[in-house]
Structure 1
Amino acid sequence: MSANTNNNVPVLETQHLVKRFGGLTATNDVNFTLASNGRLHAIIGPNGAGKTTFFNLISGRLKPTSGKILFKGEDITGYSTHRIARLGISRTLQIKSVFDALSVEDNIWIAAQAKMAGWHPLRSARHFPDTQRRVDKVIEEVGLQEIAKREAGTLSYGDVALLEMGIALASDPELLLLDEPICGMSPKETQRTVEKIVELSKLVNVILIEHDMEVVFDVADDITVMAQGGILAQGSPSEIASNHEVREAYLGFDEDDDGELAIMPNEQDIGQPSKGAHSNG
């Protein structure tokens, strides 16, 4: 996977980003910078805070009403999803997005073909010598070697999530956007997937939208809190945990047996989705 070698240029930057749907402002004056490589950045906030809309703007699924989006210094505002993907931004979706009738390997083949065969869907990526190596590498990176030949429709929920990450990684991105990747998982599946996300964050820049506060505060290097379409706070987990605005607006808090602050999600504000459900962020 690629890395941004110019540390003076942010990997991603948004400037006064606004998205309106009629009278509804989904994102409001969002100024965001992802400057460091090898760090896991989490975005949290109640449902409706603008998190998924923010991802949709970055990935080109939506066009901003105003403001700019810069990727490695290049203004990508208004670019198509395909153009943005080819530049190096890839994402997973809240909804299942795999081909059930195809194998794990073939699902990743299709994604690799789009990148390596120059977006010619009828040309076999197997004609390109680097494609097999890329597919094999991605399958190993997401830990699906033992089930590479199985049809995607037979996979567990956790394995599908890993496959979706593999599909996103097939294009060799420099920035990976993960939208609630552990939603609906069992504790065992969650642990496995989170461990894989942490591993991947050492290879590629990762921004994670997540409602599970325990996971976020355990693994994130940096956290951005969104509320009502804007950014409420940004900082390290400890800085966010001690931010009074965040605690009043978003998090419940208590003290544990050692007298230390214990972060707990305020479920009424967060709107934590039930198992198997997907929120609209």
Structure 2
Amino acid sequence: MKVALTVDGLGVDFGGFKAVNNVSMSIDEGELRVLLGANGAGKTTLMDLISGKTRSTAGRVLVFDKEITNWPEHKIARAGVGRKFQIPSILRALTTRQNIEVACCHHHPSILSNLGWGFPPAVRARVEDILTLTGLDEVASKTAAYLSHGQTQWLELAILMAQNPKVILLDEPTAGMTQAETRKTAEIITMMRGRHTLLVVEHDMSFVREIAEKITVLHLGQVLAEGRIEAIENNPKVREAYLGSKGIA
């Protein structure tokens, strides 16, 4: 099994405050890793360091053994790291299908010029596969500006899939969703596992239970615990710092 993402002693110091402090972990190719921790634990900052939004002051980041530490964000994206933020970023004037078509062809500007005029069969097949996988086939022709909140979030997941990054970072993908939308998002992300390597930050514990294989828990910028869900929810340090008596309910 290849290691897709390696974080080695990573840290950042903001004027004496270590928001992330000597964090190390490795995520295998095709793995879905959940990142847990209370507000201020360093989860989003860790994703910022991996994706290049924030420059680290210690440690390394590697994607399939290629070091990308402190590269510019666009170069890290080209190296195969995709990220979904809490606020979706879509092309609102285009249809659902067109958003995915653009994402499928982001490496091929000459193909982009054909938007609305037809695409190669392989691109069309990939677009249809992603529409089906995300359940967006019923709104494929709908202008993205008029999608529901859940559909907008699923469209951004679809765009990430179309770009086919080696590693996908998802920051609270169920924020603001209804219970039904959350369940569907869990289904989509579970289907993405294996096709993509995923690192997911989430606070919804029922959602975490649905998708989690292995969990890394951060506390005060450091790794507090790591392991499968049963070990994490029975870890006394994790219960004291984050979960409380209910565990991952």
Query: What TM-score do you get using the length of structure 2 for normalisation?
Result: 0.91
The residue that corresponds to 2:23 in the other structure is: 30
**Greater helix percent: which structure?**
2
Give the CA deviation at 1:27: 0.9
The residue that corresponds to 1:218 in the other structure is: 210
One-letter amino acid of the structure 2 residue matched with residue 72 of structure 1: F
The residue that corresponds to 2:10 in the other structure is: 17
Give the CA deviation at 1:243: 0.7
Q: Does residue 1:124 correspond to 2:113, yes or no?
A: yes
In structure 2, list runs of 5 or more residues that go unmatched.
Answer: none
Give the CA deviation at 1:81: 2.2
One-letter amino acid of the structure 1 residue matched with residue 209 of structure 2: F
Give the CA deviation at 1:122: 10
One-letter amino acid of the structure 1 residue matched with residue 113 of structure 2: S
- The answer to whether the 8 Å contact 1:17/1:29 transfers is yes
Change (3 A) 1:77 1:191: same
Give the CA deviation at 1:96: 2.4
Give the CA deviation at 1:61: 1.8
Give the CA deviation at 1:134: 3.1
- The answer to whether the 8 Å contact 2:20/2:42 transfers is yes
- The answer to whether the 8 Å contact 2:105/2:111 transfers is no
Q: What is the aligned counterpart of 1:109 among 101, 105, 108?
A: 101
Q: What is the aligned counterpart of 2:140 among 139, 148, 152?
A: 148
1:21 and 1:167 map into 2 onto residues whose CA distance is 33
Q: Deviations over 1:164-193 (max 9, x none)?
A: 101111111222211101111111111111
One-letter amino acid of the structure 2 residue matched with residue 133 of structure 1: A
The residue that corresponds to 2:151 in the other structure is: 159
Q: Deviations over 1:64-85 (max 9, x none)?
A: 1121001111111122222222
Q: Does residue 1:169 correspond to 2:161, yes or no?
A: yes
- The answer to whether the 8 Å contact 2:95/2:141 transfers is yes
One-letter amino acid of the structure 1 residue matched with residue 23 of structure 2: V
The residue that corresponds to 2:43 in the other structure is: 51
2:236 and 2:212 map into 1 onto residues whose CA distance is 20
One-letter amino acid of the structure 2 residue matched with residue 14 of structure 1: V
1:55-204 matches, cutoff 5 A: 55-114=47-106, 116-117=107-108, 120=109, 124=113, 126=115, 129=120, 130-204=122-196
One-letter amino acid of the structure 2 residue matched with residue 50 of structure 1: G
1:55 and 1:173 map into 2 onto residues whose CA distance is 15
Q: Deviations over 1:127-164 (max 9, x none)?
A: 87343333333222222111111111111111111001
- Percent identity of the aligned residues? 38
In structure 1, list runs of 5 or more residues that go unmatched.
Answer: 1-6, 255-261, 265-281
Change (3 A) 1:26 1:122: farther
One-letter amino acid of the structure 1 residue matched with residue 163 of structure 2: S
SS at match of 1:11: strand
Give the CA deviation at 1:32: 1.1
Give the CA deviation at 1:217: 2.5
Considering only aligned residues, what root-mean-square deviation do their CA atoms show, in Å? 2.0
One-letter amino acid of the structure 2 residue matched with residue 26 of structure 1: A
1:54 and 1:244 map into 2 onto residues whose CA distance is 24
1:236 and 1:137 map into 2 onto residues whose CA distance is 31
Give the CA deviation at 1:252: 1.3
- The answer to whether the 8 Å contact 2:41/2:218 transfers is yes
- The answer to whether the 8 Å contact 1:70/1:77 transfers is yes
- The answer to whether the 8 Å contact 2:83/2:160 transfers is yes
The residue that corresponds to 2:241 in the other structure is: 249
Change (3 A) 1:197 1:131: same
Give the CA deviation at 1:92: 0.6
1:214 and 1:128 map into 2 onto residues whose CA distance is 40
1:223 and 1:72 map into 2 onto residues whose CA distance is 20
Give the CA deviation at 1:121: 9.1
- The answer to whether the 8 Å contact 2:182/2:207 transfers is no
